[in-house]
Amino acid sequence: MLKTTIKASLLAVMGICATAAVNADEYQASDKAQLLADKYLIVDTHIDVPYRIHNRWEDVARSTESGDFDYPRAVKGGLNVPFMAIYIPAEYEQTGGSIQLAHELIDSMEALVGRAPNKFALAYNTDEIAANTEQGLMSIAMGMENGTPMEGDLDNLHMFYERGVRYISLAHSQTNHISDSSYDIRKQWNGLSEFGFELVEAMNNVGMMVDVSHISDEAFYDVIETTKAPVIASHSSLRKFTPGFERNMSDDMLKKLAENGGVIQINFGSSFVAQQANRYRDVMKKRIEAVNQQFGEDSEEAKKRVAEIEANNPYPYATLEQVLDHIDHVKQLIGVEHIGIGSDYDGVGDSLPVGLKDVSTYPNLVQGLLDRNYSEKEIEMILGGNFMRVWKQVEEYSSERP
């Protein structure tokens, strides 16, 4: 069982009520939780391995000293289908070169499979997921984070579909030629651009899942009104727990997602999960700027006070319990059939919750669900069943097109 011996004391972080620190070893999945993690298909729809090894190469087919994913840890956690993010930084919209980077990242995943064909296999459809799993192989699927490589040309959509990309996050941290971004105060399109509407329809037709993570609220509603197939939020959490954070989904958006038949894949990053972590960097920045302004940025007094601020206000990591709170809320609001996992491993740096620090820890999530009286069927749905249903429906819509 989960050893939830969390101390009742609260860490005061800049006047924000932060959850008490919890040691990772205070979480211990039972044999039953491990059995369920091994028994049922686990699909994690957002893992940033491609960009991680593009910047600093490591052979993730073997144990690695850094990062959140490698094959041995993934096997320990029961992971079957890591969706590898073909991440294109927002600045490529202006600088160019996004298509080349996307191809390089896809190449790296093909190379990973080529180096370890006894461990991995590429998966381009739901049938291949089943076949690979039956053979004991981990399926490498791919989604594109930021649609900048479309470059306004639907031929690029078809090209990347042929290369194995099966979802596209329409934008990232800045507005692009497709959609406004949730992070960008400039609302160039007030939702989707004209090309964005065309792209959503084309993605439906080709069998590509539309990912609503990262886009603005207006763009989300544009997608919902346009799409003929269910959509995904590949790595998002709930605004209920992070008020004012547009990157997460509001309750009204969740209701629209349910009407669409889509799924929200819960992001594990602490800043997505807990308000104190979400506000931490902004509040710390303001406090440090105030000190620098008062004493002079390069003064010894300022350096001393900044060091004290940082030492006395450690990052307030979220906990597994708080991730489970997000899952509970979705279940209560729109139903368990709309919940999945989109951890953002290797994409959120050192900000993962206690108890969910890497791909070996999915059994901890299963244990938490058991402790909250989720049925075995519900756990199966959350781990991967709900997402596979959506993917299958997107495939079926495309196949039924004339």
Class of domain 29-274+316-399: alpha beta
Kindly report the average pLDDT of the chain as a whole number: 92
Residue 108: pLDDT band (50, 70, 90) is very high
Bridge partners (DSSP) listed for residue 259:
none
Percent of the chain residues topping a pLDDT of 90: 83
Higher pLDDT, 308 or 15: 308
Percent of the chain residues topping a pLDDT of 70: 93
Each residue's pLDDT tens digit, 326-357: 999 999 999 999 999 999 999 999 999 999 99
DSSP E strands: which ranges in 50-97? 81-87
Each residue's pLDDT tens digit, 244-261: 999 999 999 999 999 999
Each residue's pLDDT tens digit, 23-41: 555 688 999 999 999 999 9
Which contiguous run of DSSP H or E holds residue 234?
A: strand 232-236
329 to 155, 255, 304, 382: CA distances (angstroms): 40, 12, 43, 13
Q: Across the chain, which distance is largest between two alpha carbons, in Å?
A: 72
3-state secondary structure of 194: helix
Across 259-275, average pLDDT: 98
Higher pLDDT, 224 or 22: 224
Across 77-106, average pLDDT: 98
**pLDDT at residue 151 is higher than 50:** yes
The DSSP call for residue 19 is P
**pLDDT at residue 149 is higher than 80:** yes
Each residue's pLDDT tens digit, 300-319: 887 888 788 778 888 999 99
Cα(191)–Cα(218) distance, rounded to whole angstroms?
4
10 neighbors 319 (Cβ within 8 angstroms) = no
Cα(225)–Cα(394) distance, rounded to whole angstroms?
16
Cα(164)–Cα(49) distance, rounded to whole angstroms?
16
Q: Angle, to 10 degrees, between the axis of helix 251-260 and the axis of helix 217-226? A: 20
Q: What is the pLDDT of residue 380?
A: 98
Higher pLDDT, 183 or 307: 183
